[in-house]
């Protein structure tokens, strides 16, 4: 009879999403994405001082950077707060316009009610 235990490869290696240097791009569809950046590794433009951060997945593939094992991994202490902030900023335009139209609808109804009196 075969052993029914799960065999999960890489389960002991930390995930980028749980690292404090993981920076999700707000134009990406999800918090977890290959196009998100790692704020630990990047390149500084010598003329403008602007830093361009590496993609997290490329940083993990390069052993000279974070590498497969996550050499520079530091746990994010408030991962849930980071995810909430990401979702809030991502959906802020929708939330804003929803409340904007809601308030205008209420004002319109109040004006209509006052004219009715």
Q: Which of 38, 45, 31, 33 is nearest to 67 (CA)?
A: 38
How many residues in the chain? 117
pLDDT given for residue 25 in this prediction: 81
For the segment 66-77, what is each residue's pLDDT rounded down to a tens digit? 999 999 999 999
The residue ranges of every structural domain in the chain are 16-77
List of residues 6+ apart from 26 with CB closer than 8 A: 86, 89, 90
Q: Whole-angstrom Cα distance, residue 82 to residue 111?
A: 42
- CB–CB of 30/39 below 8 Å? no
Q: In which band, very low, low, confident or very high, does the pLDDT at 2 lie, cut at 50, 70 and 90?
A: low
Q: Report, as an integer, the average pLDDT of 72-92.
A: 90
1 pLDDT exceeds 60? no
Rounded CA-CA distance 91/46 in Å is 35
How do residues 6-56 score in pLDDT, each as one tens digit?
888 888 999 999 999 999 887 777 777 778 999 999 999 999 999 999 999
Model confidence, pTM? 0.67
């Amino acid at each position: 009879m075969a052993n029914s235990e799960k065999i999960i490869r890489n389960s002991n290696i930390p995930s980028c999403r749980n690292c404090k240097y993981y920076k999700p791009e707000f134009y990406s569809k999800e918090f977890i994405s290959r196009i998100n950046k790692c704020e630990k590794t990047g390149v500084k433009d010598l003329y403008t001082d602007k830093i361009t951060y590496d993609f997290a997945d490329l940083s993990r593939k390069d052993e000279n950077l974070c590498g497969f094992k996550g050499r520079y991994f530091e746990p994010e202490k408030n991962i849930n707060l980071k995810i909430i902030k990401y979702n809030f900023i991502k959906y802020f335009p929708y939330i804003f316009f929803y409340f904007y139209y809601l308030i205008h609808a209420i004002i319109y109804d109040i004006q209509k009610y006052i004219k009715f009196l």
